[in-house]
């Protein structure tokens, strides 16, 4: 098969006419599908139905330690929930704080505290002339939205196959005191599905920051979210808390996680883990913010999930629902686009997304064409700070929400949009 670039202009124009006709035919189907975010499907949410009945009597409202979860108290979370979430994050229970339904809230609050009070007695960031964050790209748009909201200067760090470009990370962190943090999704990264290698984690732990209040924002959002039937040994993520402790940097990392894609996306529990010193400092701030988070919801999660093995069993059920969707998208993209020389993507082993790279200068057009035909995708550029993908290439595909029939239509439409945008770009450059 010839790639598009190897074909004559007349051949390309003929193919383009055929693809535009297909586009109009698909458009006439009246597709109405929003795949802009990685939402669990109804079937995935149904997996947690027993959470709705695990507390039904007054006597059910006490945890193993005898805590009455209906009342005030337990600022750091009930002991059993701290143990559950600590095990999920690879942290001791006494270094884990359980919060509300969204880890994004904890991350936002943590950045805000950096600005208002600073960390470990250092100057509050609001009093500094410049605050910078490193941003592995492509990455999670909501991370970048938080730091953009606070006026932080964000610096792109390219992702490699084993994690961020650590030569660049070390260069910035070890030499620039204005660099105060880095966003990380270390396992099944959003959107590429990359797990940081043991070497990358070790290099993080051995950083020698020019800023004493530099912090790694380690968002392990997809730590147990496998898609394959069994976890690949390559996705065994090294414990960042342990490695930082071993390398004399115990306070350098903040770890975040939640059950948002384990139980209910809008009704999960979230958690923060770090050194004992950092946890004490955070609790000191929280004392003025809240009396306690929703302990009844914490208790529901403990009763339903029970322990880390229960979490893994739950995620096997999610994987069984997710796997056919990712395989279907992969099948259609291979069938329609392989060999044309116009794109690349990798089928992930876990997480929630397929990271698709179109020809440079084509992503926005592809996303706009899909939207015009009824398919809403994550905005082009969203996986980069300031929504600015310098190559206008990366598109995040989120296959989790639709059923297989809808997903097939969406993938067919997407492939046609990729072909049209690519053909027009090649002809434009001839």
- Strands, DSSP E only, in 205-359? 215-219, 253-258, 270-273, 343-345, 354-358
Instruction: Give CA 203 to chain center in angstroms.
Output: 22
Place of tokens 């975010």: 37
User: What global pTM score does this model have?
Assistant: 0.97
Q: Compute the C-alpha angle 256/262/268, nearest 5°.
A: 65
Instruction: Decide if domain 4-45+313-429 falls under CATH 3.90.1150.10.
Output: yes
pLDDT of residue 373: 97
Place of tokens 């706009």: 368
Instruction: Give CA 274 to chain center in angstroms.
Output: 20
Residues 251/243, Cβ–Cβ less than 8 Å:
no
Name the residue ranges covered by the structural domains of the chain.
4-45+313-429, 63-306
- Strands, DSSP E only, in 69-210? 96-98, 132-137, 153-160, 163-164, 179-184
Cis peptide leading into 191, omega within 30 of 0?
yes
Q: Which residues contact residue 142 at a Cβ distance below 8 angstroms, ignoring those fewer than 6 apart?
A: 104
Residues 193/348, Cβ–Cβ less than 8 Å:
yes
pLDDT of residue 283: 98
Q: How far apart are CA 97 and CA 74, in angstroms?
A: 10
pLDDT of residue 89: 98
Q: How far apart are CA 142 and CA 139, in angstroms?
A: 9
CATH of domain 63-306: 3.40.640.10
Q: Which residues contact residue 113 at a Cβ distance below 8 angstroms, ignoring those fewer than 6 apart?
A: 119, 282, 285
**411's tokens:** 């993938």
Query: Tens-digit pLDDT profile for the chain (430 aa)?
Result: 799 999 999 999 999 999 999 999 999 999 999 999 999 999 999 999 999 999 999 999 999 999 999 999 999 999 999 999 999 999 999 999 999 999 999 999 999 999 999 999 999 999 999 999 999 999 999 999 999 999 999 999 999 999 999 999 999 999 999 999 999 999 999 999 999 999 999 999 999 999 999 999 999 999 999 999 999 999 999 999 999 999 999 999 999 999 999 999 999 999 999 999 999 999 999 999 999 999 999 999 999 999 999 999 999 999 999 999 999 999 999 999 999 999 999 899 999 999 999 999 999 999 999 999 999 999 999 999 999 999 999 999 999 999 999 999 999 999 999 999 999 999 999 8
Q: How far apart are CA 368 and CA 313, in angstroms?
A: 39
pLDDT of residue 389: 98
Instruction: Give CA 68 to chain center in angstroms.
Output: 34
> Which DSSP category does 35 fall into?
E
Cis peptide leading into 138, omega within 30 of 0?
yes
**27's tokens:** 């458009």
Q: How far apart are CA 9 and CA 31, in angstroms?
A: 32
Burial class (CB in 10 A: 0-12, 13-18, 19+), 294: middle
- Strands, DSSP E only, in 233-339? 253-258, 270-273
pLDDT of residue 1: 76
pLDDT of residue 229: 93
């Amino acid at each position: 098969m010839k790639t598009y670039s190897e074909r004559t202009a007349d051949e390309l124009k003929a193919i383009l006419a055929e693809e535009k006709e297909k586009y109009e035919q698909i458009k006439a189907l009246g597709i109405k599908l929003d795949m802009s975010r990685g939402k669990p499907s109804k079937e995935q949410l149904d997996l947690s139905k027993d959470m709705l009945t695990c507390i039904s009597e007054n006597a059910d409202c006490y945890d193993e330690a005898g805590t009455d979860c209906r009342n005030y108290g337990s600022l750091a979370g009930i002991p059993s929930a701290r143990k559950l979430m600590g095990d999920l994050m690879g942290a001791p229970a006494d270094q884990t704080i359980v919060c509300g339904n969204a880890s994004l809230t904890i991350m936002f609050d943590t950045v805000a505290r950096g600005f208002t009070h600073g960390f470990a007695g250092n100057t509050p960031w609001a009093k500094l002339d410049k605050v910078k964050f490193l941003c592995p790209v492509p990455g999670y748009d909501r991370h970048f939205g938080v730091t953009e909201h606070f006026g932080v200067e964000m610096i792109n760090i390219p992702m490699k196959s084993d994690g961020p470009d650590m030569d660049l990370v070390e260069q910035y962190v070890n030499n620039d005191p204005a660099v105060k943090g880095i966003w990380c999704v270390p396992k099944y990264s959003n959107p590429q599905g990359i797990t940081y290698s043991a070497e990358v984690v070790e290099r993080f732990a051995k950083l020698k920051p020019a800023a004493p209040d530099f912090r790694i924002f380690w968002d392990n959002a997809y730590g147990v979210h496998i898609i394959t039937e069994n976890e690949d040994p390559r996705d065994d993520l090294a414990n960042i808390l342990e490695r930082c402790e071993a390398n004399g940097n115990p306070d350098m990392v903040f770890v975040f996680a939640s059950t948002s894609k384990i139980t209910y996306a809008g009704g999960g529990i979230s958690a923060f883990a770090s050194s004992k010193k950092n946890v004490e400092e955070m609790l000191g701030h929280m004392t003025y913010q809240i009396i306690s988070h929703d302990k009844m919801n914490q208790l529901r999660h403990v009763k339903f999930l029970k322990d880390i093995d229960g979490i893994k069993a739950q995620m096997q059920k999610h994987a069984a629902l997710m796997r056919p969707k990712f395989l279907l998208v992969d099948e259609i993209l291979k069938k329609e686009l392989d060999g044309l020389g116009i794109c690349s993507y990798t089928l992930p082993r876990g997480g929630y997304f397929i990271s698709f790279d179109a020809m440079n200068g084509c992503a926005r057009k592809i996303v706009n064409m899909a939207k015009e035909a009824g398919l809403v995708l994550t905005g082009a550029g969203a996986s980069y700070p300031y929504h600015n993908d310098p190559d206008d290439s990366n598109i995040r595909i989120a296959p989790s929400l639709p059923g297989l029939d809808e997903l097939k239509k969406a993938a067919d439409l997407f492939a046609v949009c990729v072909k049209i945008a690519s053909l027009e770009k090649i002809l434009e450059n001839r």
